[in-house]
Structure 1
Amino acid sequence: MFASLFVLLYVAHLLSDYPLQTDHQAAHKAGAGACGWRANIAHAATHVLVTAAALAAGIAVLGLDVNPIVAVAGIVWIGATHAVIDRRWPVARWMAFARQAEFAQHGGAAHVDQTAHLTALVIAALAVAGLS
């Protein structure tokens, strides 16, 4: 069940991060103040809704037997971790800690960002599969 869950979560992530993310969200989700937080929360909410739809599809089409409480916890985890990662400071701090200044200057932050998101998805898929 882990593989099916991970694929569903990853597709939901890609849909939410690329075709469903508005230009405003992309430009402001890491910004200070109410505008930044609104953009960030709207983007994270997109992840929550699309992930919930993907899991519902997996249950309906694939017959996945997931514990509803665990599934909700996994969806909340994905929304929360996505919101924190997209504030951008965690990625910047990691890259500074890992001494990746040159990598950061050449587009590396986007790769570290996506790796952080995928790690959160793996944790969610493992938890939902293991606790269902």
Structure 2
Amino acid sequence: MFAEVLFLLYVGHLLADYPLQTDHQATHKAGPGRQGWTANGTHAAVHVAVCALLLTVGSLVLGWRLPVLPTLAVLVWIGTTHAVIDRRRLVAAWMRWARQPGFAAHGGAAHVDQTAHILALTLAALFLAA
């Protein structure tokens, strides 16, 4: 079940991060103030909604009996970690700590960002499959 859950969460992540993310969210989700937090929150909420939908479809099609509280915990985890990662401060801090200024200057932050998201999804899938 781990592989199927991870796959569905990853597809949900891709859908929410690319075709379902508005230009406004992409531009402002790391910004200061109410506008930044609203863009970030709505973007994270889309992730939660899409992942919840895909887990529901997976449960119906594959006959899973996902426990309610752990599933809700996973959805909260997905929304929270996505919002924190997309504020970009942790990604920038990681790249400074890892001494990657050249990588950061040439678009590396987007790769570190996506790797952090995949790690969070992997932990969620492990938790749900355990």
TM-score w.r.t. the length of structure 2 is: 0.99
Q: Tell me the SS of whatever aligns to 1:99.
A: coil
The answer to whether the aligner puts 1:37 opposite 2:47 as a matched pair is no
Give CA-to-partner distance per residue, 1:43-102, whole Å, 9 cap, x none: 000001001001000100111221111011001000000000000011000000000000
The whole-number CA distance in structure 2 between the counterparts of 1:16 and 1:88 is 17
Please state if 1:109 is matched with 2:109. yes
Moved over 4 A (4+): none
Query: Which residue of the partner structure matches residue 81 of structure 2?
Result: 81
Tell me, which stretches of 5 or more residues in structure 2 are unaligned? Answer: none
Inter-partner Cα distance in structure 2 for 1:97 and 1:50: 33
Aligned-partner Cα distance in 2 for 1:69–1:58: 17
State the alpha-carbon separation in 2 of the partners of residues 31 and 103 from structure 1. 22
CA RMSD of aligned residues (A): 0.4
Residue identity in the other structure for 2:8: L
Alpha-carbon distance in 2 for matches of 1:44, 1:63: 27
The letter of the residue matching 2:70 is V
Q: Which residue of 2 aligns with 1:27?
A: 27
Partner residue, 1:10 = 10
- C-alpha distance in 1 between matches for 2:20 and 2:64: 26
State the distance in 2 between where 1:53 and 1:74 align: 13
In the other structure, the counterpart of 1:99 is: 99
> Residue 21 of structure 2: SS of its match in structure 1?
coil
Confirm whether residue 53 of structure 1 aligns to residue 45 of structure 2. no
Q: Secondary structure at the match of 2:83?
A: helix
**Letter aligned with residue 111 of structure 2:** H
- Partners of 1:99 and 1:28 lie apart in 2 by 27
User: 1:111 and 1:86 mapped to 2: Cα distance?
Assistant: 12
Distance 1:89 1:80 in 2: 14
Q: Which residue of 2 aligns with 1:72?
A: 72
Could you say what secondary structure the match of 1:21 adopts? Answer: coil
